[in-house]
Structure formats: structure tokens, C-alpha cells
């Protein structure tokens, strides 16, 4: 299984992005619980989940910055 691509994340709406972030955080929690109880069968899933979370948070932050820059430029023009 290859790491997820950022192209898939960029096309998500804001609501879908927030839902995905929560789902991946929940998945990481469950993986940590499995690791702690020695039930984890596929340790590479940690890397995939962390990578996906980083992508999601990066896209979310980029959208926040773009929105704040748009509001700043709008207020400066007034």
C-alpha cells in the first residue's frame, strides 16, 4: 500500500477535510491502543496515518492562510 497522494486531499471541501482529520486522528488513537496491547499486526499503518494527517493539516492551514490574506488585502484597499 502506497502513501496517499496530496492531490486527493486538495479537492476535498472544508467539511470533508475536517471529517477526514477527525477520522485520521481517531485511527491513530486506535493504532496506538493496538500497539500498547500488542495487537498491532501492520505497523506501517502508523506511517500512512501520520502522513495523511500531515497532508490534511497542511491543506487546512494553507486554506486558512489564503482566507486571512484575502481579508487583509480587502481591508487594506478600503
Each domain of the chain, given as residue ranges in start order, spans 6-77
> Using an 8 Å Cβ cutoff, are 52 and 25 in contact?
no
Looking at every residue in the chain, the average pLDDT score rounds to 90
CATH class of domain segment(s) 6-77: mainly alpha
DSSP 41: S
> Using an 8 Å Cβ cutoff, are 28 and 56 in contact?
no
Query: pLDDT band at residue 78, thresholds of 50, 70 and 90?
Result: low
What does the pLDDT look like over 30-50, one tens digit per residue? 999 999 999 988 989 999 999
DSSP, residue by residue, 7-32? HHHHTS-HHHHHHHHHHHHHHHHHHH
Q: How far apart are CA 20 and CA 23, in angstroms?
A: 5
User: pTM to 2 decimals?
Assistant: 0.84
> Using an 8 Å Cβ cutoff, are 51 and 4 in contact?
yes
Amino acid at each position: 500500500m502506497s502513501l496517499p497522494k496530496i492531490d486527493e486531499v486538495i479537492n476535498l471541501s472544508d467539511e470533508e477535510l475536517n471529517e477526514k482529520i477527525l477520522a485520521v486522528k481517531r485511527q491513530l488513537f486506535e493504532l496506538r491502543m493496538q500497539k500498547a496491547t500488542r495487537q498491532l499486526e501492520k505497523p506501517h499503518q502508523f506511517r500512512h496515518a501520520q502522513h495523511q494527517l500531515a497532508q490534511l493539516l497542511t491543506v487546512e492551514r494553507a486554506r486558512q492562510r489564503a482566507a486571512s490574506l484575502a481579508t487583509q488585502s480587502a481591508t487594506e484597499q478600503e
